[in-house]
Amino acid sequence: MPPTGAAVKGSFHARKLIRELQKRGRGLKSLLIMTHDHPDPDSLASAWALAHLVRHFCRAKTRIVYGGIIGRRENKMMAEQLAIPAFPVKAGELADWPRIALVDTQPAFKNNRFPSRRRRPDLIVDHHPRHSNTEAECAIIDEAVGATTTLLGEALLSSGVPVPRKIATAMVYGIGSETQNLGREATSRDMKVYQAFWLKANMKELWRIAYPKRPADFFSILARGIRHAFIARNIIGVHLGPLTTPDRVAQIADTLLTHEKMRWSIVTGRFKDRLHVSLRTNDPDAEAGRLLRRLLGKGKGGGHQMIAGGVVELPPEAPEFEWRQAEEKVVAEFLKAQGVEDSGARVYPFRDETA
């Protein structure tokens, strides 16, 4: 049986997804479902929910893949504890699948391994603003919700498809993580789907996922993020330097924004040949995604009103000065956009000069 709350009315986009799957039916033999690189809970839950819908309506073979790694301990715990069938994409694997879907991302975002120059996806399901270059056989993009998981949840609930407890648990964590427990960019639709699946979710599993044992690396980076953080007016930020997982950038940005006097946080971190950038604000009308797109360039950054992320690509084996130039350019241009004169504006209140 579907969770209590199956009476949740599916949105136009949810109904469109159901109609699309019903139309394809048994004609769809297989579907490769791809998330964005270094998948977060919203992308993992969305991909799993889509796979469940595809198997129900089309009886098709599915496989969930992602680029990069699942680095953040909570995300890794979610995948392991719930046994989410998501795997690193293999070299040449995309050529073996005639049908590919993207969830929680779009080809033009360049944060996925989809070969957009050679083909276009059969299906896109996403809640990020539609990129002008986005094309697909069927694109279901709903910016009116706070999480892609919400859209998939509406499709599951309104169609009456039975939902296993582990998938229900993933749905709750996916929405909760993306909206910071319904406190950030959450809509009434996010709340309704969250509440409907909450009734069937495994509370003990949710607790284990949300409060995992953390590696020493987490605490060293947290210490680095606080110790080297700068403040300029109502902006707090830091350059984290080399990282073992890019997830730390967003994690530290969220943490720094909890400083009581701050309106913005901006954090950079180096991972392989990319400088990862996370931008956060507590102003619901700030349009962080649009701002970061303007700073980094089209296709390199984006997001929503209060959260945004992007990357700056550097040449392989780039020297230290190039990394520092890239870091400083991002922060300097952001400060300028906020009307802050960078020269002498930054202070480092947590730095221990004797250390």
How buried is 183 (Cβ within 10 angstroms: 0-12 exposed, 13-18 middle, 19+ buried)?
exposed
Q: Are strands 274-281 and 264-271 parallel, antiparallel or unpaired?
A: antiparallel
Position 110 scores a pLDDT of 83
Tens-digit pLDDT profile for residues 137-171: 999 999 999 999 999 999 999 999 999 999 999 99
Contact 240, 225 (CB under 8 A): yes
In a domain, 7, yes or no: no
d(CA 164, CA 338): 47
265 and 250 within one domain? yes
Largest CA-CA distance found in the chain, in angstroms, rounded: 68
Residue 45 shares a structural domain with residue 149: yes
Retrieve residue 292's tokens: 């970061």
231 with 120, same domain: the answer is no
Buried b (16+ CB within 10 A) or exposed e, 32-46: bbbbbbbbbbbbbbb
DSSP 268: E
Q: In the beta sheet, which residues pair with residue 61? A: 30
* pLDDT at residue 5 in the model: 46
Q: Are residues 59 and 162 in the same domain?
A: yes
Q: Please report whether residue 37 resides in a domain.
A: yes
Instruction: Give the CATH number of the domain where residue 308 resides.
Output: 3.10.310.30
pLDDT by position in tens, the chain (length 355): 455 444 466 689 999 999 999 999 999 999 999 999 999 999 999 999 999 999 999 999 999 999 999 989 999 999 999 999 999 999 889 999 999 999 999 998 889 999 988 899 999 999 999 998 999 999 999 999 999 999 999 999 999 999 999 999 999 999 999 999 999 999 999 999 999 999 999 999 999 999 999 989 999 999 999 999 999 999 999 999 999 999 999 999 999 999 999 999 999 999 999 999 999 999 999 999 999 999 997 668 888 899 999 999 999 899 999 999 999 999 999 999 999 987 778 999 998 754 4
Confidence (pLDDT) at 3: 55
**Residue where a domain terminates, one of 167, 195, 210:** 210
Per-residue pLDDT, 301? 83
Domain residues for the domain of 225 are 216-337
Are 98 and 233 in the same domain?
Answer: no
- Do 332 and 306 lie in a common domain? yes
